[in-house]
Structure 1
Amino acid sequence: MTGASRGIGLSISQKLVSLGYKVYGVSRNPETCVYTNELFHLISCDLTNTKQLDQLLDRIPDRKEISILIHNAGLAYFAPVEELSSEKIREMISLHITAPMLLTSQLTRILKENKGRIVFIGSVAGNEISPWGNVYASLKAGIHHYARELFSELRKFGVKVHLLILDITKTDFYNHLNFEPDEDPKSYLLPNQIAEVVEELVVGDRGWVIPEIQISPELFKLKRKKQN
Protein backbone atom coordinates (compact mmCIF):
# COMPACT_ATOMS: atom_id res chain seq x y z
CA MET A 1 0.00 0.00 0.00
CA THR A 2 1.59 3.27 -1.07
CA GLY A 3 0.71 6.47 0.76
CA ALA A 4 -0.29 4.39 3.77
CA SER A 5 0.37 6.70 6.70
CA ARG A 6 -2.66 8.96 6.36
CA GLY A 7 -5.90 9.69 4.54
CA ILE A 8 -7.27 7.16 2.09
CA GLY A 9 -4.20 4.92 2.30
CA LEU A 10 -4.41 4.64 6.08
CA SER A 11 -8.15 3.95 6.02
CA ILE A 12 -7.71 1.17 3.45
CA SER A 13 -4.79 -0.24 5.47
CA GLN A 14 -6.90 -0.32 8.64
CA LYS A 15 -9.73 -2.02 6.77
CA LEU A 16 -7.39 -4.70 5.40
CA VAL A 17 -5.87 -5.26 8.84
CA SER A 18 -9.38 -5.74 10.26
CA LEU A 19 -9.88 -8.43 7.61
CA GLY A 20 -6.72 -10.23 8.74
CA TYR A 21 -4.29 -9.03 6.10
CA LYS A 22 -0.69 -8.20 6.93
CA VAL A 23 -0.16 -4.77 5.41
CA TYR A 24 3.16 -3.30 4.34
CA GLY A 25 2.60 0.41 3.99
CA VAL A 26 4.91 2.77 2.17
CA SER A 27 5.25 6.36 3.34
CA ARG A 28 7.68 9.20 2.89
CA ASN A 29 7.06 10.28 6.50
CA PRO A 30 5.99 7.20 8.50
CA GLU A 31 6.72 8.96 11.78
CA THR A 32 3.57 11.08 11.28
CA CYS A 33 1.30 8.01 11.44
CA VAL A 34 -0.53 7.54 14.75
CA TYR A 35 -1.97 4.11 13.95
CA THR A 36 -0.20 0.98 15.19
CA ASN A 37 -1.05 -2.70 14.82
CA GLU A 38 1.02 -5.87 14.75
CA LEU A 39 -0.23 -6.53 11.21
CA PHE A 40 0.61 -3.03 9.98
CA HIS A 41 4.22 -2.39 8.99
CA LEU A 42 5.20 1.05 7.73
CA ILE A 43 8.27 1.37 5.52
CA SER A 44 9.99 4.70 4.97
CA CYS A 45 10.47 5.25 1.25
CA ASP A 46 10.42 8.27 -1.02
CA LEU A 47 8.71 6.91 -4.13
CA THR A 48 10.11 9.76 -6.22
CA ASN A 49 13.62 8.47 -5.46
CA THR A 50 14.28 5.65 -7.93
CA LYS A 51 17.14 4.23 -5.84
CA GLN A 52 14.90 3.88 -2.78
CA LEU A 53 12.13 2.49 -4.97
CA ASP A 54 14.41 -0.15 -6.49
CA GLN A 55 15.40 -1.31 -2.99
CA LEU A 56 11.89 -1.29 -1.53
CA LEU A 57 10.94 -4.93 -2.04
CA ASP A 58 14.21 -6.09 -0.49
CA ARG A 59 12.92 -4.64 2.78
CA ILE A 60 9.84 -6.89 2.79
CA PRO A 61 10.92 -10.29 4.16
CA ASP A 62 7.86 -12.21 2.97
CA ARG A 63 7.35 -10.37 -0.30
CA LYS A 64 6.62 -13.66 -2.12
CA GLU A 65 3.36 -13.82 -0.16
CA ILE A 66 2.09 -10.47 -1.44
CA SER A 67 -1.40 -10.85 -2.92
CA ILE A 68 -2.58 -7.24 -3.22
CA LEU A 69 -0.77 -4.16 -4.51
CA ILE A 70 -2.53 -0.83 -4.00
CA HIS A 71 -1.29 2.32 -5.72
CA ASN A 72 -2.60 5.19 -3.64
CA ALA A 73 0.22 7.72 -3.07
CA GLY A 74 -0.26 11.03 -4.79
CA LEU A 75 -0.05 14.78 -4.67
CA ALA A 76 -1.13 17.61 -6.93
CA TYR A 77 0.03 21.07 -7.87
CA PHE A 78 -2.59 23.16 -9.66
CA ALA A 79 -1.35 26.25 -11.50
CA PRO A 80 -1.11 27.77 -14.98
CA VAL A 81 1.31 25.60 -16.91
CA GLU A 82 3.99 28.30 -17.12
CA GLU A 83 3.99 28.66 -13.33
CA LEU A 84 4.71 24.99 -12.56
CA SER A 85 8.38 24.53 -11.76
CA SER A 86 10.32 21.67 -13.32
CA GLU A 87 10.79 20.23 -9.81
CA LYS A 88 7.02 20.05 -9.22
CA ILE A 89 6.40 18.51 -12.63
CA ARG A 90 9.09 15.87 -12.09
CA GLU A 91 7.76 15.08 -8.62
CA MET A 92 4.24 14.50 -9.93
CA ILE A 93 5.47 12.37 -12.84
CA SER A 94 7.60 10.24 -10.53
CA LEU A 95 4.83 9.68 -8.02
CA HIS A 96 1.87 9.17 -10.36
CA ILE A 97 3.47 7.35 -13.30
CA THR A 98 7.02 6.11 -12.69
CA ALA A 99 6.54 4.62 -9.21
CA PRO A 100 3.32 2.68 -9.97
CA MET A 101 4.76 1.28 -13.18
CA LEU A 102 8.04 0.20 -11.58
CA LEU A 103 6.36 -1.35 -8.53
CA THR A 104 3.88 -3.18 -10.72
CA SER A 105 6.66 -4.53 -12.90
CA GLN A 106 8.61 -5.72 -9.85
CA LEU A 107 5.62 -7.51 -8.31
CA THR A 108 3.79 -8.92 -11.33
CA ARG A 109 5.40 -12.39 -11.24
CA ILE A 110 4.56 -12.73 -7.54
CA LEU A 111 0.97 -11.55 -8.11
CA LYS A 112 0.58 -14.07 -10.93
CA GLU A 113 1.72 -16.88 -8.65
CA ASN A 114 -0.67 -15.75 -5.91
CA LYS A 115 -3.60 -14.97 -8.24
CA GLY A 116 -3.52 -11.53 -6.68
CA ARG A 117 -4.93 -8.07 -7.28
CA ILE A 118 -3.75 -4.62 -8.23
CA VAL A 119 -5.81 -1.62 -7.16
CA PHE A 120 -5.24 1.84 -8.65
CA ILE A 121 -6.67 4.87 -6.86
CA GLY A 122 -7.54 7.22 -9.70
CA SER A 123 -9.24 10.59 -9.93
CA VAL A 124 -12.09 12.17 -11.86
CA ALA A 125 -9.50 14.76 -12.87
CA GLY A 126 -8.13 12.11 -15.21
CA ASN A 127 -11.48 11.93 -17.02
CA GLU A 128 -12.21 15.64 -17.24
CA ILE A 129 -10.67 18.96 -18.17
CA SER A 130 -9.56 20.50 -14.88
CA PRO A 131 -8.81 24.21 -14.52
CA TRP A 132 -5.05 24.51 -13.95
CA GLY A 133 -4.91 20.74 -13.57
CA ASN A 134 -2.89 20.38 -16.77
CA VAL A 135 -0.11 18.09 -15.48
CA TYR A 136 -1.94 16.32 -12.63
CA ALA A 137 -5.01 15.50 -14.72
CA SER A 138 -2.88 14.29 -17.63
CA LEU A 139 -0.91 11.96 -15.35
CA LYS A 140 -4.09 10.56 -13.83
CA ALA A 141 -5.45 9.95 -17.33
CA GLY A 142 -2.24 8.13 -18.13
CA ILE A 143 -2.37 5.86 -15.09
CA HIS A 144 -6.06 5.16 -15.78
CA HIS A 145 -5.11 3.87 -19.21
CA TYR A 146 -2.26 1.84 -17.73
CA ALA A 147 -4.71 0.19 -15.33
CA ARG A 148 -7.02 -0.67 -18.23
CA GLU A 149 -4.13 -2.13 -20.20
CA LEU A 150 -3.10 -4.25 -17.22
CA PHE A 151 -6.64 -5.53 -16.72
CA SER A 152 -6.64 -6.82 -20.28
CA GLU A 153 -3.10 -8.23 -20.07
CA LEU A 154 -3.20 -9.90 -16.65
CA ARG A 155 -6.72 -11.33 -16.41
CA LYS A 156 -5.61 -14.42 -18.37
CA PHE A 157 -3.17 -15.13 -15.52
CA GLY A 158 -5.77 -14.75 -12.78
CA VAL A 159 -4.56 -11.31 -11.63
CA LYS A 160 -7.49 -8.99 -10.99
CA VAL A 161 -6.96 -5.28 -11.71
CA HIS A 162 -9.28 -2.60 -10.32
CA LEU A 163 -9.37 1.12 -11.09
CA LEU A 164 -11.19 3.27 -8.51
CA ILE A 165 -11.88 6.72 -9.92
CA LEU A 166 -12.51 9.02 -6.97
CA ASP A 167 -14.37 12.28 -6.89
CA ILE A 168 -13.94 14.92 -4.17
CA THR A 169 -12.68 13.20 -1.03
CA LYS A 170 -12.08 15.04 2.24
CA THR A 171 -8.38 14.53 3.04
CA ASP A 172 -5.32 16.73 3.47
CA PHE A 173 -4.80 16.46 -0.31
CA TYR A 174 -6.20 20.00 -0.42
CA ASN A 175 -3.90 21.47 2.24
CA HIS A 176 -1.68 23.37 -0.20
CA LEU A 177 -4.34 24.05 -2.87
CA ASN A 178 -6.45 27.18 -3.12
CA PHE A 179 -9.74 25.25 -3.05
CA GLU A 180 -11.25 22.55 -0.84
CA PRO A 181 -14.43 20.51 -0.32
CA ASP A 182 -17.54 22.38 0.77
CA GLU A 183 -18.87 21.99 4.33
CA ASP A 184 -21.94 20.11 3.09
CA PRO A 185 -21.35 16.45 4.03
CA LYS A 186 -23.16 15.36 0.87
CA SER A 187 -20.51 17.13 -1.26
CA TYR A 188 -17.51 14.96 -0.40
CA LEU A 189 -16.44 11.39 0.20
CA LEU A 190 -14.60 10.18 3.31
CA PRO A 191 -11.55 7.88 3.36
CA ASN A 192 -13.41 5.17 5.28
CA GLN A 193 -16.03 5.07 2.52
CA ILE A 194 -13.29 4.37 -0.04
CA ALA A 195 -11.98 1.62 2.25
CA GLU A 196 -15.44 0.03 2.28
CA VAL A 197 -15.45 -0.06 -1.52
CA VAL A 198 -12.02 -1.69 -1.54
CA GLU A 199 -13.31 -4.30 0.90
CA GLU A 200 -16.16 -5.13 -1.46
CA LEU A 201 -13.71 -5.54 -4.33
CA VAL A 202 -11.08 -7.71 -2.65
CA VAL A 203 -13.08 -10.01 -0.34
CA GLY A 204 -14.04 -13.36 -1.77
CA ASP A 205 -13.60 -14.98 -5.16
CA ARG A 206 -16.87 -14.50 -6.99
CA GLY A 207 -15.69 -15.57 -10.43
CA TRP A 208 -16.20 -12.05 -11.76
CA VAL A 209 -14.38 -8.75 -11.34
CA ILE A 210 -15.20 -5.04 -11.46
CA PRO A 211 -12.35 -3.53 -13.49
CA GLU A 212 -13.39 0.10 -13.09
CA ILE A 213 -15.69 2.10 -10.86
CA GLN A 214 -16.24 5.81 -10.24
CA ILE A 215 -17.26 6.93 -6.76
CA SER A 216 -18.82 10.38 -6.37
CA PRO A 217 -20.58 12.27 -3.59
CA GLU A 218 -24.24 13.09 -4.03
CA LEU A 219 -23.59 16.80 -4.63
CA PHE A 220 -20.86 18.73 -6.44
CA LYS A 221 -19.64 21.65 -4.37
CA LEU A 222 -16.20 23.16 -3.96
CA LYS A 223 -15.15 26.36 -2.28
CA ARG A 224 -12.20 28.68 -2.62
CA LYS A 225 -10.10 29.13 0.47
CA LYS A 226 -10.02 32.52 2.10
CA GLN A 227 -6.78 34.35 1.47
CA ASN A 228 -4.94 35.61 4.56
Structure 2
Amino acid sequence: MKSAIVTGASSGIGLEISRLLLELDYKVYGISRYTKPKQIEHDKFVAVSSDLSEEKDWKPKVEAILKEEKELSLLVNNAGIGALGLHEEIEYNRLRKLLELNFCLPILLTRLCLRRIKENAGLILNISSTSALKASPIGAAYGASKAGLTSFGQSIFEEVRKTGTRVVNIHPDITRTHFFDELNFQESEDRETFLLPEDIADVVKFIIERKKELVITDITIKPQKHRLDKKRHNKELTE
Protein backbone atom coordinates (compact mmCIF):
# COMPACT_ATOMS: atom_id res chain seq x y z
CA MET A 1 0.00 0.00 0.00
CA LYS A 2 1.39 3.42 -0.93
CA SER A 3 2.01 5.63 2.07
CA ALA A 4 2.71 9.28 2.88
CA ILE A 5 4.08 11.43 5.68
CA VAL A 6 2.41 14.80 6.26
CA THR A 7 3.76 17.26 8.84
CA GLY A 8 1.40 19.67 10.54
CA ALA A 9 -1.50 17.35 9.75
CA SER A 10 -3.84 18.24 12.62
CA SER A 11 -5.36 21.37 11.07
CA GLY A 12 -5.40 23.72 8.11
CA ILE A 13 -3.54 22.83 4.94
CA GLY A 14 -2.00 19.67 6.39
CA LEU A 15 -5.39 18.37 7.47
CA GLU A 16 -6.95 18.93 4.05
CA ILE A 17 -4.01 17.34 2.25
CA SER A 18 -4.28 14.33 4.57
CA ARG A 19 -7.97 13.99 3.76
CA LEU A 20 -7.20 14.13 0.06
CA LEU A 21 -4.50 11.47 0.29
CA LEU A 22 -6.84 9.15 2.17
CA GLU A 23 -9.36 9.59 -0.65
CA LEU A 24 -6.59 8.64 -3.07
CA ASP A 25 -5.99 5.44 -1.08
CA TYR A 26 -2.77 6.42 0.68
CA LYS A 27 -1.92 5.32 4.18
CA VAL A 28 -1.17 8.65 5.86
CA TYR A 29 1.15 9.27 8.79
CA GLY A 30 0.10 12.66 10.11
CA ILE A 31 2.78 14.17 12.33
CA SER A 32 1.86 17.12 14.53
CA ARG A 33 2.05 18.32 18.11
CA TYR A 34 -1.61 17.44 18.64
CA THR A 35 -3.30 14.07 18.84
CA LYS A 36 -5.45 12.65 16.05
CA PRO A 37 -7.73 15.37 14.64
CA LYS A 38 -11.43 14.79 15.26
CA GLN A 39 -12.11 15.63 11.61
CA ILE A 40 -10.40 12.42 10.45
CA GLU A 41 -11.85 9.04 11.27
CA HIS A 42 -10.11 6.64 8.93
CA ASP A 43 -8.32 3.35 9.48
CA LYS A 44 -5.52 4.39 7.11
CA PHE A 45 -4.71 7.54 9.06
CA VAL A 46 -1.99 7.14 11.68
CA ALA A 47 -1.63 10.10 14.03
CA VAL A 48 1.92 10.66 15.27
CA SER A 49 2.12 13.15 18.12
CA SER A 50 5.44 14.98 18.20
CA ASP A 51 7.04 18.35 18.85
CA LEU A 52 8.38 19.03 15.38
CA SER A 53 10.65 21.79 16.65
CA GLU A 54 12.60 19.20 18.67
CA GLU A 55 14.60 16.75 16.55
CA LYS A 56 15.12 14.38 19.48
CA ASP A 57 11.33 14.00 19.64
CA TRP A 58 10.38 13.57 15.98
CA LYS A 59 13.44 11.81 14.54
CA PRO A 60 13.03 8.40 16.26
CA LYS A 61 9.34 8.37 15.33
CA VAL A 62 10.12 8.97 11.67
CA GLU A 63 12.83 6.31 11.76
CA ALA A 64 10.25 3.85 13.13
CA ILE A 65 7.89 4.71 10.26
CA LEU A 66 10.65 4.14 7.71
CA LYS A 67 11.50 0.78 9.24
CA GLU A 68 7.89 -0.31 8.80
CA GLU A 69 6.87 1.41 5.56
CA LYS A 70 8.66 0.15 2.46
CA GLU A 71 6.06 1.80 0.21
CA LEU A 72 6.60 5.38 1.41
CA SER A 73 6.37 7.45 -1.75
CA LEU A 74 5.13 10.87 -0.64
CA LEU A 75 6.46 13.44 1.82
CA VAL A 76 4.56 16.66 2.51
CA ASN A 77 6.69 19.27 4.28
CA ASN A 78 3.88 21.44 5.58
CA ALA A 79 4.47 22.29 9.24
CA GLY A 80 5.45 25.86 9.96
CA ILE A 81 4.76 29.03 11.94
CA GLY A 82 4.88 32.76 11.27
CA ALA A 83 6.41 35.79 12.93
CA LEU A 84 5.38 39.22 11.70
CA GLY A 85 6.76 42.51 12.94
CA LEU A 86 9.96 44.52 12.88
CA HIS A 87 12.80 42.00 13.04
CA GLU A 88 14.42 43.60 16.10
CA GLU A 89 11.13 43.39 18.00
CA ILE A 90 10.28 39.73 17.38
CA GLU A 91 10.95 37.49 20.37
CA TYR A 92 14.28 35.68 19.98
CA ASN A 93 12.91 32.24 20.90
CA ARG A 94 10.05 32.72 18.43
CA LEU A 95 12.60 33.25 15.66
CA ARG A 96 14.53 30.14 16.67
CA LYS A 97 11.37 28.03 16.62
CA LEU A 98 10.36 29.50 13.26
CA LEU A 99 13.70 28.53 11.72
CA GLU A 100 13.54 25.04 13.24
CA LEU A 101 10.05 24.35 11.87
CA ASN A 102 10.08 26.19 8.57
CA PHE A 103 13.62 25.48 7.40
CA CYS A 104 15.60 22.93 9.43
CA LEU A 105 12.78 20.41 9.85
CA PRO A 106 11.97 19.91 6.14
CA ILE A 107 15.64 19.66 5.21
CA LEU A 108 16.41 17.08 7.90
CA LEU A 109 13.17 15.15 7.39
CA THR A 110 13.79 14.99 3.65
CA ARG A 111 17.29 13.66 4.39
CA LEU A 112 15.79 10.79 6.40
CA CYS A 113 13.10 9.92 3.85
CA LEU A 114 14.81 10.64 0.55
CA ARG A 115 16.35 7.25 -0.17
CA ARG A 116 13.02 5.49 0.36
CA ILE A 117 11.14 8.01 -1.76
CA LYS A 118 13.72 7.64 -4.54
CA GLU A 119 13.36 3.86 -4.43
CA ASN A 120 9.63 4.32 -5.05
CA ALA A 121 10.05 7.13 -7.63
CA GLY A 122 7.87 9.22 -5.35
CA LEU A 123 6.99 12.84 -4.70
CA ILE A 124 8.09 15.53 -2.23
CA LEU A 125 5.78 18.50 -1.71
CA ASN A 126 7.08 21.60 0.04
CA ILE A 127 4.40 23.99 1.27
CA SER A 128 6.30 27.22 0.89
CA SER A 129 4.77 30.71 0.57
CA THR A 130 4.51 33.68 -1.76
CA SER A 131 6.74 35.37 0.83
CA ALA A 132 9.56 33.25 -0.58
CA LEU A 133 9.30 35.04 -3.90
CA LYS A 134 9.62 38.67 -2.84
CA ALA A 135 10.95 41.01 -0.19
CA SER A 136 8.96 40.55 3.02
CA PRO A 137 9.21 43.59 5.29
CA ILE A 138 7.70 42.90 8.73
CA GLY A 139 8.20 39.23 7.91
CA ALA A 140 11.90 39.03 7.04
CA ALA A 141 12.72 35.81 8.89
CA TYR A 142 9.54 34.08 7.72
CA GLY A 143 10.19 35.05 4.10
CA ALA A 144 13.81 33.95 4.37
CA SER A 145 12.84 30.57 5.83
CA LYS A 146 10.40 29.95 2.99
CA ALA A 147 12.84 31.19 0.35
CA GLY A 148 15.36 28.73 1.74
CA LEU A 149 12.81 25.92 1.55
CA THR A 150 12.00 26.80 -2.06
CA SER A 151 15.68 26.87 -3.03
CA PHE A 152 16.21 23.54 -1.27
CA GLY A 153 13.34 21.96 -3.17
CA GLN A 154 14.62 23.19 -6.52
CA SER A 155 18.10 21.85 -5.81
CA ILE A 156 16.89 18.48 -4.54
CA PHE A 157 14.81 18.01 -7.68
CA GLU A 158 17.94 18.38 -9.79
CA GLU A 159 19.63 15.74 -7.62
CA VAL A 160 16.84 13.16 -7.87
CA ARG A 161 15.06 13.79 -11.17
CA LYS A 162 16.92 10.96 -12.95
CA THR A 163 15.35 8.50 -10.48
CA GLY A 164 11.81 9.50 -11.49
CA THR A 165 11.29 11.35 -8.20
CA ARG A 166 9.40 14.64 -8.34
CA VAL A 167 9.84 17.65 -6.06
CA VAL A 168 7.28 20.45 -6.11
CA ASN A 169 7.25 23.75 -4.23
CA ILE A 170 3.75 25.13 -3.61
CA HIS A 171 3.55 28.85 -2.85
CA PRO A 172 0.17 29.77 -1.33
CA ASP A 173 -0.71 33.37 -0.58
CA ILE A 174 -2.88 34.31 2.43
CA THR A 175 -4.79 31.21 3.54
CA ARG A 176 -7.47 31.00 6.22
CA THR A 177 -5.89 28.71 8.83
CA HIS A 178 -4.63 28.90 12.42
CA PHE A 179 -1.46 30.53 11.05
CA PHE A 180 -2.63 33.97 12.19
CA ASP A 181 -3.77 32.90 15.69
CA GLU A 182 -0.61 34.12 17.42
CA LEU A 183 0.04 37.08 15.12
CA ASN A 184 -1.14 40.68 15.15
CA PHE A 185 -2.60 40.33 11.66
CA GLN A 186 -5.39 38.27 10.18
CA GLU A 187 -6.99 37.65 6.83
CA SER A 188 -9.76 40.02 5.78
CA GLU A 189 -13.41 38.95 5.85
CA ASP A 190 -13.67 39.62 2.10
CA ARG A 191 -13.84 36.13 0.54
CA GLU A 192 -11.82 37.29 -2.47
CA THR A 193 -8.82 38.11 -0.25
CA PHE A 194 -7.87 34.66 1.08
CA LEU A 195 -7.50 31.03 0.09
CA LEU A 196 -8.96 28.03 1.90
CA PRO A 197 -6.96 24.92 2.84
CA GLU A 198 -9.18 22.99 0.44
CA ASP A 199 -7.82 25.13 -2.40
CA ILE A 200 -4.29 23.97 -1.63
CA ALA A 201 -5.45 20.34 -1.45
CA ASP A 202 -7.02 20.75 -4.91
CA VAL A 203 -3.64 21.86 -6.24
CA VAL A 204 -1.98 18.84 -4.61
CA LYS A 205 -4.46 16.57 -6.37
CA PHE A 206 -3.66 18.29 -9.66
CA ILE A 207 0.06 17.67 -9.10
CA ILE A 208 -0.36 14.02 -8.13
CA GLU A 209 -2.52 13.27 -11.15
CA ARG A 210 -0.08 14.69 -13.73
CA LYS A 211 1.65 12.17 -15.95
CA LYS A 212 5.03 11.11 -14.58
CA GLU A 213 7.08 12.57 -17.41
CA LEU A 214 5.71 16.06 -16.70
CA VAL A 215 6.97 17.83 -13.58
CA ILE A 216 5.64 21.11 -12.22
CA THR A 217 8.51 22.24 -10.02
CA ASP A 218 6.92 25.41 -8.60
CA ILE A 219 3.33 26.58 -8.42
CA THR A 220 1.94 29.82 -6.95
CA ILE A 221 -1.66 30.25 -5.74
CA LYS A 222 -3.21 33.62 -4.95
CA PRO A 223 -6.67 34.95 -4.14
CA GLN A 224 -8.08 37.56 -6.49
CA LYS A 225 -7.36 40.43 -4.06
CA HIS A 226 -4.73 41.10 -1.40
CA ARG A 227 -5.53 42.47 2.04
CA LEU A 228 -4.61 41.84 5.67
CA ASP A 229 -6.25 43.42 8.71
CA LYS A 230 -4.30 44.36 11.82
CA LYS A 231 -6.00 42.86 14.88
CA ARG A 232 -5.12 45.41 17.54
CA HIS A 233 -6.03 48.60 15.73
CA ASN A 234 -8.24 47.16 13.01
CA LYS A 235 -6.05 48.90 10.48
CA GLU A 236 -6.20 47.54 6.95
CA LEU A 237 -3.01 46.80 5.07
CA THR A 238 -3.42 46.88 1.33
CA GLU A 239 -0.94 46.22 -1.42
Assess same fold via TM > 0.5.
yes
The Cα of 1:82 is off from its aligned counterpart by 1.7
* Partner of residue 136 from structure 1, selected from 142, 150, 174: 142
Q: Are residue 76 (structure 1) and residue 89 (structure 2) matched?
A: no
CA distance in 1, matches of 2:102, 2:140: 14
CA distance in 1, matches of 2:119, 2:215: 18
Q: Are residue 177 (structure 1) and residue 170 (structure 2) matched?
A: no
Contact between 2:73 and 2:120, CA under 8 Å: does it hold in 1? yes
2:105 corresponds to:
99
* Partner of residue 192 from structure 1, selected from 194, 198, 202: 198
1:218 corresponds to:
224
CA distance in 2, matches of 1:118, 1:156: 15
1:8 corresponds to:
13
Name whichever of 128-137 and 15-24 sits farther off: 128-137
CA distance in 2, matches of 1:175, 1:28: 16
| Superposed counterparts of 1:19-98, under 5 Å | 19-30=24-35, 33-60=38-65, 62-98=68-104
How many corresponding residue pairs? 228
Q: Are residue 109 (structure 1) and residue 111 (structure 2) matched?
A: no
The Cα of 1:190 is off from its aligned counterpart by 0.5
Contact between 2:36 and 2:47, CA under 8 Å: does it hold in 1? no
CA distance in 2, matches of 1:54, 1:223: 38
CA distance in 2, matches of 1:56, 1:73: 16
* SS of residue in 1 equivalent to 2:17: helix
Deviation sequence 1:106-164 (CA, Å, 0-9, x none): 11110111000000001011112223111111111111100110111110111100000
The Cα of 1:204 is off from its aligned counterpart by 5.2
The Cα of 1:34 is off from its aligned counterpart by 3.6
Contact between 2:127 and 2:169, CA under 8 Å: does it hold in 1? yes
Amino acid aligned to 1:85: E
Q: Runs of at least 4 residues of structure 1 off by over 6 A?
A: none
CA distance in 2, matches of 1:91, 1:122: 17
Deviation sequence 1:69-118 (CA, Å, 0-9, x none): 00000101112222223211110111011111111011111011100000
Contact between 2:22 and 2:45, CA under 8 Å: does it hold in 1? yes
CA distance in 1, matches of 2:233, 2:48: 36
CA distance in 1, matches of 2:95, 2:232: 26
| Unpaired segments ≥5 residues, structure 1 | none
TM-score (ref. length: structure 1): 0.95
Q: Are residue 202 (structure 1) and residue 202 (structure 2) matched?
A: no
Name whichever of 33-42 and 65-74 sits farther off: 33-42
* SS of residue in 2 equivalent to 1:140: helix
CA distance in 2, matches of 1:31, 1:153: 35
Contact between 2:63 and 2:112, CA under 8 Å: does it hold in 1? no
- Report the identity percentage: 38
Contact between 1:53 and 1:99, CA under 8 Å: does it hold in 2? no
Q: RMSD of the alignment, in Å? A: 1.6
TM-score (ref. length: structure 2): 0.90
The Cα of 1:197 is off from its aligned counterpart by 0.6
The Cα of 1:210 is off from its aligned counterpart by 0.5
Amino acid aligned to 2:62: L
